[in-house]
Structure 1
Amino acid sequence: QSSVIDVTELYVGEHPAFTLPRAQRTTLAVRRYERDRSWLEFSRSFPTNVEVRVVQSYSADQPPSNARGGALSYEVNHSMILLPATPMMPRLWDERVGFISVARTNYSRDFQGVRPEQYVRRYRLEPRDTAAFLRGELVDPVKPWVWYIDPATPEKWLPYIEAGILEWNGAFEGAGFKNAIQVRRAPTPQQDPKFSLLDARHSVLRYVPTTVRSANSAGDVVDPRSGEVLRAHTNMYEAVAERMRWQLLSQVATAADDKRYRSSRLPDDLMGEAIRYVASHETAHSVGLPHNQRANFVFPVDSIRNPDFVRRMGHSGSSVGRTRFNYAAQPGDGVPPERRMGVWDRWAVYWGYRPIIGAKTPESETATLHKWIRERADKPWFRFADAQFGMDEEWDPYRMTEGISADPVEAASLGMKNLKVMVDSLLPWLLREGDDYYELETHYLQALTQWNRYAEHAAAAVGGSWTHHKRYGEPGLVYTPVEPGYQRKAMKFIDQQVLATPSWALNPNVLRRLEHAGAVERIRAYQELAVQRLLNHARIARMIEHEAFHGAATFTPTQMLDDTRAAVWRDAQAGRALSTYRRNLQRAYLAQSNHLLNIADNTGWSPPRSGDLRVGSDTDPRLNGELKIAQSDIRPLIRDQLKLLRGELRTALSRGVAERNTRIHLEDAIVRIDRALEPDAR
């Protein structure tokens, strides 16, 4: 006997779980849900899932397009999926390895209270022949992981996408499985009318014709009881090829032996290799691997400039970290530019997928899993740490995105050499007679983005700490301050490559083909960011704490602020003529100093999270207290810098400044300092 349940209103009515969430309603200024303009598009059933697609309409004051119409509609797909009758045995997540996970709360009576708990997300791979597995032989899984490639995918990219997905079979062999992943080309409706990419039994790579310059992937259907990935889904967006071209030109083209990279249109074999890397990277997320930034920063610079080393180990310990290509390689090094699965990737798959025969519960696996980690703890390429984003959170150079090598500052210096050659060569590399300037503009802007990334990498070292996740019983601490010498090296890079006027980016033969004005403000904005990073409340607060713990053995906030003042104001202190760019930089310094001195404490600033993934600073008890700038050393330190600067500028003016704009600027700077020091005297 079966039942018929009317779910029309569940999907088409205004049920809070199936309509726009509150945050989006606020952003779009939604007034009401329009039931009479919403409808069921289709409903399809499969052996383990039901797919329902509806169109939902709303009246809104700020729709994303056609604002005058005051309405918006969304096409929404809902999936209802049957979970396995027998859940897979979970594997407990560990911050030292760092799988993508599912969270739950453990109410067990084995300890007092409740605890957050996480299971790793992974596909269910079980050995078909357990006896052979125990003998050390590679075995087939009971159920291999079959991927289908969208029939809309261009034929020329199919071999590269297939190779990218299948690359992970090498990692699964390390865990004891052969033929773990299979790839098939999905049939068209004409070839097989019963096949559908909506069927939840199929993992799918879709090729999506959009302007999004990216790709994304995950186990999009996961059993919350166990972390089992029931279905994975990758979107390969058409425009990702353009993003690859930007990065290859700015990071690879200068040093590559293959001069075909120096073009606005790559040959199919070079672009195919880039697409293979994207497919491999996204498949890793479906496997369960997150972006491991730590694994990007494990090999010395001289190693990643050695072609034999790179062919054997790659330029990074992981292809899943948010970094792309080897920008440290120099012309003549002969380093291959291809990106491959790394040593951390193989290790993470081993740790997450290697069966522990005989274990009946997640807890019974713990001793073995810990043993595997500790056996590898002294090698940096087996470590995990996630990414840091935003000025307040940039405190570990080894957790920055888009960076490489055990010496990211040295790598950035080498990257700048390549970048300057690239920008100087944009016209001959990109343009042919009759071309418009679209490619010139986009690659020039990408070069500035790359410059800003190098600036971020160096700034993270200043007042920063290294992260090495450990558990009790392992020697050493989790967080250790960056060495003072390395912090000074980072400051020198910022002085010479970031705060110095970037003449390489100011070629009128390029810029006056793109715009009649804008370069001065563009450089001002980037250099303002650099000043704000150094004179950042969270950075100074960390340095104050480092000094409190380590005294003169660390790079103190006073030393950092003295160096920053010297880097920004050196020419002014000497009475030399100042360019427009330099004057803008100095005004940015004064604005940020005034912000810290008079404005910042109006709202509650919180320091960056501790980084402890088991006890977050937003839970009780709080690991960090709220930072009160007015009650810290920050304001006295900034006030001291402004007083010193005012004296230096007065001395420079007293000696005579011949250039008029410079003299006007220095006089104005003193007025701004006076107002910052005594805001109530205006």
Structure 2
Amino acid sequence: MKKLLLLTLFGAAAISAADAQTRPTNPTTTPATSDTTKRAAGIGFPGASKAQPKPYDQVITSKAISRKGMITTHKLDDKFFFEIADSTLGRDILVVSRISRAGSEVRSASGYAGDQIGSTVIRFEKGPSNRIFMRKISYRTYGPDSTTAMYQNLQRSNIQAIAAAFNIAAYSPNKRGSVIDMTDYINSDNEIFYFGSPAVKTNFRLGTQQSDRSYILGVRSFPTNVEINVVKTYSLTAAPNPFGAAAPAGFGGGAPSGSSTVELNTSLVILPKVPMKPRYFDPRVGYFTVGYTDFDSNPQGVKDIEMVKRWRLEPKAADMAKYKRGELVEPVKPIIFYIDPATPKEWVPYLMAGVNDWQKAFEKSGFKNAIMAKMAPTSKEDSTWSLDDARHSAIVYKPSEIANASGPSISDPRSGEIMESHINWYHNVMKLVHDWYMIQASAIDPRAQKMNFSPELMGDLIRFVSSHEVGHTLGLRHNYGSSSTTPSEKLRDKSFVEANGHTPSIMDYARFNYVAQPEDNIKPKGIYPRIGDYDLWAIEWGYKVLPDAKNANAEVPVLNKLTMEKLKNNRLWFGTETNPDDPRSQSEDLGDNAMISSDYGIKNLKRILVKLPDWTKANNEGYENLTTMYGQLTTQLARYMG
């Protein structure tokens, strides 16, 4: 009877299975038990059988092109392997992704060479069944002291996401490393190596990856990083609807059309085994921050910790005694900004000067030659050097109509240490500074009374913008309150403004000295922004090494005492850009009395207005220049009127 029952059940199961092979199914519905995920070769998945590593020489044959570095890389025909040493497992690796080249479709959405499209932290670790896991690491909830019970609780309560799993193809000959096939993962469209989120892709109108038109250009390994270069082709999504969701009939956004190809670079940079000693944020000094929720600091709750973003500048061990005596010393590793080889040669000296101008600020923190600009080496000088390499910071020149520049940076989330920066320098920023200077300074500077400035004047304006953006890459935020510390009438004092500038901070949006009148005879030194008293103080606060303070907590009372003493000087006040209700912290203003300053500005606008037709005249052209500059003038008037 039992035998009959078993046979009956088996027969029913067999009939059911056979029926499933022939029964028509709804083509738009996937059965709940069906798994349609495409499995990439070499990548492990839950439920997969245990991987069986092969002998090393059967995987990495004599035909392989190998390159040793942070991770040893191997290229074998069209496959790419990572050989990860056991000593690298568990180390935090910063992943930074950028556009290397883009088609017109992406550039029209402000996607240019050097633009960052993703950043995250990963960690490789050994998993079960001969697999290597890649985890995506978050430091939002953090216990920095591994000796505390709370740290252990956090470890038990939190798990970092496994972003990918790879079969171990072979073990290293010395058994201290694992070889994994990265080909399919590099070829895939994933958020770790490429566009960091769907929103970033959407911004560029990029849809589904077209695998038949995507391929790997190369994988290179260096001592502290791995560089991956790929070509990706994506379908194009619909253009944005200019009228919003409720568009009139016939006025919707453009339909999806065609495809777009981009070249992308991904840098994997190993983070320091021991994080830099952080410095806690003080709202009296304007720095960008990274942060985490700390469960240790407050025994009766949690505390949000903010650490300032700054470069790791440290005296050499042999110079520490000199540093403590107050002598200027060179740092172990200076901050170097390379100038994009594509930069027009006439502007290179001014961009470099904008970087080097910060050297005097670092002298306040005890360092000489702490920051410098260099031309990027040519391929003949260094064939391994690349603008995409995340080890190098650079000013990247972009052939764009965008009238702007920006200074972003990438930092270690554990400490705030700035790892690198690529300043975006858009070609059309020159149009921006031309229009600003003509409308704000042409009444007192005859050089500004024309549509095409001399190379010397334009160079000076480029230098000022370069210094401002470099300031951001050093960690400094806008100081909108700085200009309010200068008495409005002092802005007409020739000796004062030529000696001190019209604002104590180049990080202010104070632009140019529009208060000065023609009869004041103020020279350019009193018209341009410059690195000022506040900037010197901010760099001193952020970069002064306190060798006797063992940790960030021990630094707090020392820095607080220094800050209280320094802020007796009103010119060192920081007025945040995030408090528009404070009348002192406004952009595009000057002086401590907006009414007085604006009145002087309007007097100058009246002088400029009657001259604009002559100053904007161009042979064989219409009134476009006049229209543009009249618009700039009325915009400036609106600022004066509040």
For 1:369 and 1:237, locate their aligned partners in 2 and report how far apart those are by CA, in whole Å: 38
Q: Are 2:417 and 1:228 equivalent residues in the alignment? A: yes
For 1:147 and 1:132, locate their aligned partners in 2 and report how far apart those are by CA, in whole Å: 27
For 2:217 and 2:536, locate their aligned partners in 1 and report how far apart those are by CA, in whole Å: 44
Aligned residues of 1:34 and 1:59 also touching (Cα < 8 A): no
Q: Which residue of 1 aligns with 2:197?
A: 21
**C-alpha spacing 1:24/1:123, structure 2 compared with 1 (3 Å):** closer
Q: How far does the alpha carbon of each residue in 1:470-520 deviate from its partner, in whole angstroms, 9 at most, with x for none? A: xxxxxxxxxxxxxxxxxxxxxxxxxxxxxxxxxxxxxxxxxxxxxxxxxxx
- Choose which of 387, 405, 426 in structure 2 pairs with 1:197: 387
Aligned residues of 1:63 and 1:70 also touching (Cα < 8 A): no
1:3 maps to a residue whose letter is: S
For 2:595 and 2:221, locate their aligned partners in 1 and report how far apart those are by CA, in whole Å: 55
**C-alpha spacing 1:74/1:413, structure 2 compared with 1 (3 Å):** farther
Q: Are 2:535 and 1:358 equivalent residues in the alignment? A: no
Larger mean CA deviation between 411-420 and 307-316 belongs to: 411-420
User: 1:440, CA displacement in angstroms?
Assistant: 1.9
User: 1:227, CA displacement in angstroms?
Assistant: 0.9
For 1:447 and 1:360, locate their aligned partners in 2 and report how far apart those are by CA, in whole Å: 55
Q: Which structure has greater strand proportion?
A: 2
Q: How far does the alpha carbon of each residue in 1:371-414 deviate from its partner, in whole angstroms, 9 at most, with x for none? A: 111113343322222225xxxx7422222221121112321222
User: 1:215, CA displacement in angstroms?
Assistant: 0.9
Q: Which residue of 1 aligns with 2:128?
A: none
Aligned residues of 1:31 and 1:61 also touching (Cα < 8 A): no
For the aligned residue pairs, the C-alpha RMSD in angstroms reads 2.5
- Choose which of 352, 360, 382 in structure 2 pairs with 1:170: 360
For 1:443 and 1:367, locate their aligned partners in 2 and report how far apart those are by CA, in whole Å: 52
For 1:429 and 1:152, locate their aligned partners in 2 and report how far apart those are by CA, in whole Å: 32
Q: Are 2:507 and 1:299 equivalent residues in the alignment? A: no
Q: Which residue of 2 aligns with 1:134?
A: 324
For 2:495 and 2:546, locate their aligned partners in 1 and report how far apart those are by CA, in whole Å: 36
Q: Which residue of 2 aligns with 1:333?
A: 520
Query: How does 1:319-398 map onto structure 2 within 5 Å?
Result: 319-335=506-522, 336=524, 337-388=527-578, 394-398=580-584
User: 1:126, CA displacement in angstroms?
Assistant: 0.9
Q: How far does the alpha carbon of each residue in 1:80-105 deviate from its partner, in whole angstroms, 9 at most, with x for none? A: 21112222111111111121111222
Aligned residues of 1:27 and 1:62 also touching (Cα < 8 A): no
Aligned residues of 1:38 and 1:55 also touching (Cα < 8 A): yes
Q: Are 2:450 and 1:263 equivalent residues in the alignment? A: yes
Q: Are 2:640 and 1:450 equivalent residues in the alignment? A: no
Q: Which residue of 2 aligns with 1:411?
A: 597
Q: Which residue of 2 aligns with 1:241?
A: 430
Q: Which residue of 1 aligns with 2:178?
A: 3
1:425 maps to a residue whose letter is: K
Q: How far does the alpha carbon of each residue in 1:345-384 deviate from its partner, in whole angstroms, 9 at most, with x for none? A: 0000000001112111100000011111111334332222
Larger mean CA deviation between 285-294 and 39-48 belongs to: 39-48
For 1:5 and 1:417, locate their aligned partners in 2 and report how far apart those are by CA, in whole Å: 71
Give the secondary structure class of the aligned counterpart of 1:57.
strand
Give the secondary structure class of the aligned counterpart of 2:378.
coil
| Structure 1 length-normalised TM | 0.62
Aligned residues of 1:48 and 1:200 also touching (Cα < 8 A): no
Q: Which residue of 2 aligns with 1:98?
A: 286
User: 1:69, CA displacement in angstroms?
Assistant: 4.6
Q: Are 2:249 and 1:62 equivalent residues in the alignment? A: no
Give the secondary structure class of the aligned counterpart of 1:206.
strand
User: 1:291, CA displacement in angstroms?
Assistant: 0.8
1:62 maps to a residue whose letter is: A
Larger mean CA deviation between 96-105 and 57-66 belongs to: 57-66
User: 1:36, CA displacement in angstroms?
Assistant: 4.6
User: 1:454, CA displacement in angstroms?
Assistant: 2.5
Q: How far does the alpha carbon of each residue in 1:575-604 deviate from its partner, in whole angstroms, 9 at most, with x for none? A: xxxxxxxxxxxxxxxxxxxxxxxxxxxxxx
For 2:548 and 2:369, locate their aligned partners in 1 and report how far apart those are by CA, in whole Å: 24
Give the secondary structure class of the aligned counterpart of 2:408.
strand
Aligned residues of 1:33 and 1:59 also touching (Cα < 8 A): no
2:549 maps to a residue whose letter is: A
**C-alpha spacing 1:339/1:29, structure 2 compared with 1 (3 Å):** closer
Aligned residues of 1:205 and 1:235 also touching (Cα < 8 A): yes
For 2:387 and 2:412, locate their aligned partners in 1 and report how far apart those are by CA, in whole Å: 20
Q: Which has the higher contact order (CA 8 A, sep 6+)?
A: 2
Aligned residues of 1:92 and 1:118 also touching (Cα < 8 A): yes
1:345 maps to a residue whose letter is: D
For 2:278 and 2:406, locate their aligned partners in 1 and report how far apart those are by CA, in whole Å: 25
Larger mean CA deviation between 11-20 and 204-213 belongs to: 11-20
Aligned residues of 1:121 and 1:228 also touching (Cα < 8 A): yes
User: 1:30, CA displacement in angstroms?
Assistant: 7.5
Q: How far does the alpha carbon of each residue in 1:204-237 deviate from its partner, in whole angstroms, 9 at most, with x for none? A: 1122221111111132x21111111121221221
Q: Which residue of 1 aligns with 2:277?
A: 89
Give the secondary structure class of the aligned counterpart of 2:630.
helix
| Structure 2 length-normalised TM | 0.66
- Choose which of 340, 345, 350 in structure 2 pairs with 1:160: 350
Aligned pairs, number: 449
Unmatched segments (≥5 aa) in structure 2: 1-171, 243-252
Larger mean CA deviation between 363-372 and 53-62 belongs to: 53-62
For 1:31 and 1:149, locate their aligned partners in 2 and report how far apart those are by CA, in whole Å: 33
Q: Which residue of 1 aligns with 2:87?
A: none
Larger mean CA deviation between 143-152 and 63-72 belongs to: 63-72
**C-alpha spacing 1:373/1:203, structure 2 compared with 1 (3 Å):** same
Aligned residues of 1:41 and 1:55 also touching (Cα < 8 A): no
Q: Which structure has greater helix proportion?
A: 1
2:492 maps to a residue whose letter is: R
**C-alpha spacing 1:238/1:279, structure 2 compared with 1 (3 Å):** same
Q: Which residue of 1 aligns with 2:586?
A: 400
For 1:193 and 1:141, locate their aligned partners in 2 and report how far apart those are by CA, in whole Å: 27
Q: How far does the alpha carbon of each residue in 1:91-138 deviate from its partner, in whole angstroms, 9 at most, with x for none? A: 111111121111222121553221111111111111221111121211
Q: Are 2:503 and 1:316 equivalent residues in the alignment? A: yes
| Larger Rg computed on CA atoms | 2
Q: How far does the alpha carbon of each residue in 1:183-210 deviate from its partner, in whole angstroms, 9 at most, with x for none? A: 2211222343222222222221122221
**C-alpha spacing 1:177/1:24, structure 2 compared with 1 (3 Å):** closer
Give the secondary structure class of the aligned counterpart of 1:5.
strand
Q: Are 2:309 and 1:121 equivalent residues in the alignment? A: yes
Aligned residues of 1:294 and 1:383 also touching (Cα < 8 A): yes
For 2:320 and 2:299, locate their aligned partners in 1 and report how far apart those are by CA, in whole Å: 35
Aligned residues of 2:280 and 2:307 also touching (Cα < 8 A): yes
Aligned residues of 1:127 and 1:140 also touching (Cα < 8 A): yes
Unmatched segments (≥5 aa) in structure 1: 459-682
**C-alpha spacing 1:143/1:339, structure 2 compared with 1 (3 Å):** same
Q: Are 2:584 and 1:433 equivalent residues in the alignment? A: no
Q: How far does the alpha carbon of each residue in 1:324-362 deviate from its partner, in whole angstroms, 9 at most, with x for none? A: 111111112122322210111000000000111211110
Q: Which residue of 1 aligns with 2:443?
A: 254
**C-alpha spacing 1:240/1:127, structure 2 compared with 1 (3 Å):** same
Aligned residues of 1:293 and 1:387 also touching (Cα < 8 A): yes
For 1:11 and 1:413, locate their aligned partners in 2 and report how far apart those are by CA, in whole Å: 61
Q: Are 2:240 and 1:51 equivalent residues in the alignment? A: no
Q: Which residue of 2 aligns with 1:634?
A: none
Aligned residues of 1:42 and 1:54 also touching (Cα < 8 A): no
**C-alpha spacing 1:109/1:254, structure 2 compared with 1 (3 Å):** closer
